[in-house]
Structure 1
């Protein structure tokens, strides 16, 4: 396998918290960025609105950051057709706590994506390694 590219993203969690505090965004944003399997998992998570770093916010931030890093690893031509909700960062048999993310898409079977995700306080960092072969 050869390395095609690397994508990196760092996300300040309060950015997602602020976005989700608006009622209209709390419904639209998850639908816009989450794959159906991710959305199903998201809906099963507890929603504690008084907790600024609740599980739903952390899950959305995790998905967003991984997909942003993934987007940055793609060529310009692939970026033009990128849709967040086509990419899945969880497996269908997930329990309450997401495992190390893996990425799947129906459009890039010839490539593999390796993910490293780190949480520290109010920040999430995602690194995606795009591999060919």
Structure 2
């Protein structure tokens, strides 16, 4: 008997991040520049709105001469964004190689009368699309799963 195809045009992506890896990474200093890796990392993976949210939430200033102190909360927030974006890239219709880090926005869905918004991803571009996000933190690990519509 031939198996039936999945009846919905959906993609799923999952990623797991080890928090100590992110903490170690963003605590590094560049070998040839005064810039700390925190600034480089946030510019590489966060879209403009997320960069602003990060600076506001953690009172971070982008000055190479006065590097920001990396905190565990900061690392946890960034690790969550990293896991969510990687899961979103895997769930993108063309796969992870078809979309960049800054092409995905991680946010809380707009609040409704029923309560606060759940986390979601927004695929930025010509046609902004929303994907469903589940993210969990447990000790040293962060896991994110994204469910997104396919273009089929």
Same fold (TM over 0.5): yes
SS of 1:104's equivalent in the other structure is: strand
* Contact 2:13–2:147, Cα closer than 8 Å, also in 1: yes
Question: What does 1:30-45 align with in structure 2 at a 5 Å threshold?
Answer: 30-45=42-57
For the pair 1:85 / 2:97, whether they are aligned, the reply is no
Structure 1 or 2, whichever has the larger Rg, is 2
For structure 1, the 5+ residue unaligned runs are 94-98
Which deviates further from its counterpart, 110-119 or 60-69?
Answer: 110-119
Is the alpha carbon distance of 1:18 and 1:2 closer, same or farther for their aligned partners in structure 2, counting shifts above 3 Å?
A: same
Is the alpha carbon distance of 1:112 and 1:132 closer, same or farther for their aligned partners in structure 2, counting shifts above 3 Å?
A: farther
Give the superposed CA RMSD: 3.0
Quote how far apart the aligned CAs of 1:13 are.
Answer: 0.6
Q: How many residue pairs were aligned? A: 126
Quote how far apart the aligned CAs of 1:43 are.
Answer: 0.5
For the pair 1:2 / 2:8, whether they are aligned, the reply is yes
The CA deviation string for residues 20-62 of structure 1, in whole angstroms up to 9 with x for no partner, is 11133111000110011111110122368474x22x2111111
Between the two structures, name the one with larger relative contact order (CA 8 Å, sep ≥ 6). Answer: 1
**TM-score in terms of structure 1 length:** 0.78
Partner of 1:116: 134
- After the TM superposition, list the runs of 4 or more consecutive aligned residues in structure 1 that deviate by more than 2 angstroms: 45-51, 77-81, 105-112
Output the CA distance in 2 between the equivalents of 1:43 and 1:129: 28
* Contact 1:112–1:132, Cα closer than 8 Å, also in 2: no
Output the CA distance in 2 between the equivalents of 1:111 and 1:3: 14
Partner of 1:73: 91
For structure 2, the 5+ residue unaligned runs are 1-6, 30-35, 61-67, 111-116
